[in-house]
Amino acid sequence: MIRHMVLFSFKPSVDQDQRHQLLDLLAELPRQFPDMQGFQLGVNVSKRDRRFSHGMTMGFATLGDLEKYLDSERHERFVRENFAPLIEERAIVSIVD
C-alpha cells in the first residue's frame, strides 16, 4: 500500500465560500479515481504545527496506481484549475505503508 499525503494552506485572499467549494471538490476525488482507497480530508487540529490548515491522505495498492493518478490529465487539470490558484503552501509525501 502506498499512502499519499497532501498538507496545504489557503492563500489569505481566499474567502470561506471558495474554501468550502474546493474542499467539496476534493471530497469528490475518490469517485473520480477508483484506484484511490481510504481517502481522508480534514482540518489540521495540531497544536504543535499550524503551518498547514488542512490535510488529506489517500491510499493506492501500488506505486503504479499512484503514478497513474498523479499523471492523469484529470488530476493535472484539477490541480492547475482548482487547487493551485487557491493554495499558499503545500507539502506532498508518499510512503510505503
CA trace torsion 83, 84, 85, 87 (10° rounding): 90
Q: Is the pLDDT of residue 17 over 90?
A: yes
Q: What sign results for the dihedral spanned by CA atoms 8, 13, 16, 17?
A: negative
pLDDT in tens, 79-94: 999 999 999 999 999 9
CATH topology of domain 2-96: Alpha-Beta Plaits (3.30.70)
Q: What is the pLDDT of residue 97?
A: 81
pLDDT in tens, 49-79: 999 999 999 999 999 999 999 999 999 999 9
pTM, two decimals, is 0.92
